[in-house]
Structure 1
Amino acid sequence: MPAPERIPPGRVTSGDLRTLLTKGELTVRGRIREASNAVLYCSVSHEGEEAHCVYKPIAGERPLWDFPDGTLAQREVAAYELSEATGWGLVPPTVLRDGPYGEGMVQLWIEADPSASLLGLVEDEEPGEGWKAVGFAEVGEGRTALLVHADDVRLRRLAVLDAVINNGDRKGGHLLPTADGGLYAIDHGVTFNVEDKLRTLLWGWAGERLPSEATQALAALTVALTDGEPLATRLAELLTVAEVEALRERVAGLKESGRHPAPSGEWPAIPWPPV
């Protein structure tokens, strides 16, 4: 039998990947131990094709006080579905399926480009050209530095997506720039809460007007979230009625304001640890 064809990065948006991830045979290759929940590095093969992926079984989820038990995998899939609906393709293909340790989330593995620079710490009071300020951070021995992120259209799209899905944990380590100029974001388990939970490193555009492509994406989401539309039907399988309604309200609120949200000051705006 010939060896399976490895899926190259350039095919990350292929519709065939959903079939591969959903129907393929999962083989566990190792565990990513720095993760707070069980995260298994796997290969998946189907009809002569193979890819690497991440498998997060629901049984390995750590309970959280502010999210119902056993729902993080569904939220990861819902984040992918929302990302696809915007047309921005910011979340790697993600499915919900059975695996060696029960039902869980399976997501295409993305090889990040280690040379790409999206975040940084600078000694100046203001960010340099091409960068946006997040805030000051302690760097030891009583010193502070300015935390900055790139003024990058891909990150700006992600900031909008995070506001829509109410991401409570957008850390630097969740950003995966690729050598071909793409950007993917991972770890969307703490999303879609009915309460405002937005915590992110991407505050650089806070209060600024949304770009036209963002307002167009929000308009498209408004239609796609109407009862009976495929996206709304799919999300009803993954989230509660209240969570879907809160999602609609966030989209409507962003459309009405026309601006990137700003920190409320009622809770920490930046996740810890930030990376």
Structure 2
Amino acid sequence: MPPPERLPAPGVKATGELEEVLAKGELTVVGRIPGASNAVLLCTATYGGADVDCVYKPVKGERPLWDFPDGNLARREVAAYLVSEATGWGLVPPTVLRDGPYGEGMVQQWIESGHGDGEAEADGSGLLALVEGEEAGEGWKPVGFADVGEGRTALLVHADDPRLRRLSVLDAVINNGDRKGGHLLPGPDGRLYGIDHGVSFHVEDKLRTLLWGWAGEPLTDEAQEVLGLLQGRLAAGEALATRLAELITPAELAAVRARVARLLRTGVHPKPSGQWPAIPWPPV
């Protein structure tokens, strides 16, 4: 099942024009999104008669991370968007790297998902749930047991949804270290968007996600076809590889290629390595 068409912002005809507004538009800061570990500013980008609501994350507002010393998180967010676009799945909102009111940063289209703080509800808007018992139930995939207090546990499950499954493949490719429930945004265009990819592309296996339900299962035919195309686009000299080389280190780019090759070789969704916490904290 192909992903639905992405609906452009009002006054914008296509994704390319949307990127142009985000990259060249005048940024007006509307407010700050609370609860984020780094500075996240809600803005409006205005260009060529079009206004696009967006999120601006200045590099100056990033908290240093001991395990991501090479480059900044903003560039990794843009790299994740480029890889997403190369798959054809459109899983990441249009994202650019540009100068803004507080210096260089990532600017990404705001996705209106019905949640005022920009994050999905704790249940992932129907995509995540806690259930009693040891069975996930029809239409759900088990992740693991969670402590819900008073000595009780519940089974954490996610929907057996093709959109989530595509996102789990993208996360495996970019080595996403922080796939939380609040990073899943169902958009008004019928798409599911993933956000917050700053802690991605590490050379070591740091995959942490709530989407382990397909671990060890065969990749879909669609995923294998997409990965095969992505492998070609990551070859030296290809446009995607050239652009990624401007955003992440040579070792990280080599690791992306190796992860794609491993997925194609094994033909299955990865399992937790056991060397790194498999579930992000907090999970939402």
TM-score, length basis structure 1: 0.95
Return closer, same or farther for 1:214/1:12 CA change in 2, 3 Å cut-off: farther
Task: Indicate the residue corresponding to 1:14 in structure 2.
Answer: 15
Residues 1-275 of structure 1 aligned to structure 2 (within 5 Å) = 7-8=9-10, 14-68=15-69, 70-113=71-114, 116-275=125-284
Q: What SS class does the counterpart of residue 124 from structure 1 fall into?
A: coil
CA distance in 1, matches of 2:135, 2:189: 30
Structure 1, residues 6-51: CA drift from partner, whole Å, max 9, x if none? Answer: 9249x69621111000000000010012000010000010010001
Return closer, same or farther for 1:246/1:53 CA change in 2, 3 Å cut-off: same
Q: Contact 1:113/1:176 (CA < 8 Å) preserved in 2?
A: no
- Letter of the 1:178 counterpart: G
- Letter of the 2:170 counterpart: L
- Letter of the 2:87 counterpart: T
CA distance in 1, matches of 2:240, 2:272: 29
Q: Contact 2:130/2:156 (CA < 8 Å) preserved in 1?
A: yes
CA distance in 1, matches of 2:218, 2:171: 16
Q: Contact 2:219/2:267 (CA < 8 Å) preserved in 1?
A: yes
CA distance in 2, matches of 1:177, 1:13: 20
Return closer, same or farther for 1:13/1:75 CA change in 2, 3 Å cut-off: farther
Q: Percent identity?
A: 71
Task: Indicate the residue corresponding to 2:5 in structure 1.
Answer: none
Q: Contact 1:58/1:70 (CA < 8 Å) preserved in 2?
A: no
CA distance in 2, matches of 1:242, 1:12: 37
Q: Which 4+ runs in 1 deviate beyond 6 A?
A: none
Deviation at 1:113, TM superposition (A): 4.5
Structure 1, residues 196-253: CA drift from partner, whole Å, max 9, x if none? Answer: 0000000000000000110011101110001110000000100110000011000000
- Letter of the 1:7 counterpart: A
The alignment covers a number of residue pairs equal to 269
- Letter of the 1:204 counterpart: G
CA distance in 1, matches of 2:231, 2:165: 20
Q: Contact 1:165/1:247 (CA < 8 Å) preserved in 2?
A: yes
Return closer, same or farther for 1:60/1:178 CA change in 2, 3 Å cut-off: same
CA distance in 2, matches of 1:230, 1:17: 20
Deviation at 1:69, TM superposition (A): 6.0
Structure 1, residues 40-91: CA drift from partner, whole Å, max 9, x if none? Answer: 0000100100010000000110000100265100000000000000000000
Q: Please, which runs of 5 or more residues in structure 2 have no aligned partner? A: 1-7, 116-120
Deviation at 1:268, TM superposition (A): 1.1
Q: What RMSD over aligned residues (CA atoms) do the two structures have, in Å?
A: 1.6
Deviation at 1:179, TM superposition (A): 3.4
Q: Please, which runs of 5 or more residues in structure 1 have no aligned partner? A: 1-5
Q: What SS class does the counterpart of residue 98 from structure 1 fall into?
A: strand
Task: Indicate the residue corresponding to 1:3 in structure 2.
Answer: none
TM-score, length basis structure 2: 0.92
CA distance in 2, matches of 1:113, 1:248: 36
Q: Contact 2:131/2:156 (CA < 8 Å) preserved in 1?
A: yes
CA distance in 2, matches of 1:107, 1:245: 26
Q: Contact 1:95/1:106 (CA < 8 Å) preserved in 2?
A: yes
Q: Contact 1:13/1:89 (CA < 8 Å) preserved in 2?
A: no
- Letter of the 1:190 counterpart: V
CA distance in 2, matches of 1:249, 1:165: 11
Structure 1, residues 112-157: CA drift from partner, whole Å, max 9, x if none? Answer: 1469410000012111110000000000000000000000000000
